[in-house]
Amino acid sequence: AKARGRNGFQFYAPSMTGEGVERLRLETMLRRSIEKDEIFLNYQPQVEVDSGRLIGVEALVRWDNPELGLVAPVRFIPLAEDTGFINQLGKWVLYESCRQMIRWQDAGLYVPKIAVNLSVKQFERGSIVCMVAEILKETGLEPHRLQLEVTESVIMNTGDALVFINDLHAIGVGLAIDDFGTGYSSLAYLKQLPVQTLKIDRSFIKDISTDSNDEAIAIAIIQLGKSLNLSVIAEGVETEDQAAFLLRHGCNQAQGYLYSRPELASVILERWR
């Protein structure tokens, strides 16, 4: 880390080099993670708040390395984005997600839809639409059962995002705006996009019963969804109070530890079949 000298200046401590080496090591390990079978998915249920019915799952990638242990996505996704590995990883995640939907179905569990996170870097490559179409065809998953999650910054900062998003819509896949309210998407833009779902960010849900600003923002997002005819789902729901708040304000879709942590496919099957 950067150390502070007596005079308050930052200087490069020997550990700075260590950090670079560490990053390189992580990069190298990450690059081999797929072939070494260290990458897998967890699935977090999305439920209808009033009935508790399963309406979908979100696929969340995991990296379990023998040396490093379980590495958090917040640590390796940015690295994967910087190195370009995200394209390979993203493709793996998408394929595995679609295939898992069919496996569950064959085992007697119908999961209505699966949400898969897309990184901004995956849009920069341009081939995203072909890749999605190919994976759907190969796995046999109906397009409307796949929902891609992108953040506001993906939409606002990617030159051709609008084109890709319209193309994805044309092949029938759904689109959700993730972490909604934390970025700065223009509302006019939102109206033009073939988006079906807004996902209220966890940060607004967290203190919903104690922070009046968060409460106001959550209500505003729910109302916005209603006016634009979009479905709204809340993420990070941990308490009954939060769930009750959502219901009271007309949001009947949620995801969070209150219902389930992200789990292995086998656990989802066991619990929800």
Question: Where on the chain is the footprint of Ca ion (CB under 5 A)?
Answer: 117, 149, 178-179, 235
Is residue 181 at the binding interface for ligand C2E, with CB under 6 A as the rule?
A: no
Question: Of residues 46, 119, 139, 197, which one binds ligand C2E by CB under 6 A?
Answer: 119
Residue 167: partners with Cβ closer than 8 Å, 6 or more residues away: 129
Is residue 236 at the binding interface for ligand C2E, with CB under 6 A as the rule?
A: yes
Provide the token pair at 195.
């988006």
**Closer CB to ligand C2E, residue 13 or residue 215?**
215
Q: How far is the CB of 255 from ligand C2E (least distance, A)?
A: 6
Alpha helices in the chain (DSSP H): 14-31, 73-83, 86-106, 120-124, 128-139, 152-157, 161-170, 187-192, 202-206, 212-227, 240-248, 265-272
| DSSP conformational letter for 192 | H
Q: How far is the CB of 167 from ligand C2E (least distance, A)?
A: 19
Q: How far is the CB of 60 from Ca ion (least distance, A)?
A: 8
Distance, CA of 165 to CA of 185 (rounded, Å): 15
Q: How far is the CB of 77 from ligand C2E (least distance, A)?
A: 5
Q: By rule CB under 6 A, what string of x and - marks binding of each residue 55-94 to ligand C2E?
A: -----xx----------xxx--x---------------x-
Q: How far is the CB of 235 from Ca ion (least distance, A)?
A: 5
Residues 195-224 binding ligand C2E (CB under 6 A) are 202
76 with 63: CB under 8 angstroms? yes
| DSSP conformational letter for 72 | P
Among ligand C2E, Ca ion, none, the one that 77 touches (CB under a kind-dependent 5 to 8 A) is: ligand C2E
**Closer CB to ligand C2E, residue 56 or residue 262?**
262
**Closer CB to Ca ion, residue 149 or residue 263?**
149
Q: Is the dihedral of CA 207, 211, 212, 213 positive or negative?
A: negative
Question: Of residues 117, 139, 147, 197, which one binds ligand C2E by CB under 6 A?
Answer: 117
Distance, CA of 60 to CA of 259 (rounded, Å): 16
Pick the piece of the chain touching ligand C2E (CB under 6 A) from 63-71, 134-142, 220-228, 255-263.
255-263
Q: How far is the CB of 75 from ligand C2E (least distance, A)?
A: 9
Provide the token pair at 114.
């699966």
Distance, CA of 20 to CA of 24 (rounded, Å): 6
Is residue 179 at the binding interface for ligand C2E, with CB under 6 A as the rule?
A: yes
Distances (CA, A) of 31 to 43, 116, 238: 23, 21, 35
Q: Which residue has the tokens 């920069």?
A: 124
Q: How far is the CB of 217 from ligand C2E (least distance, A)?
A: 16
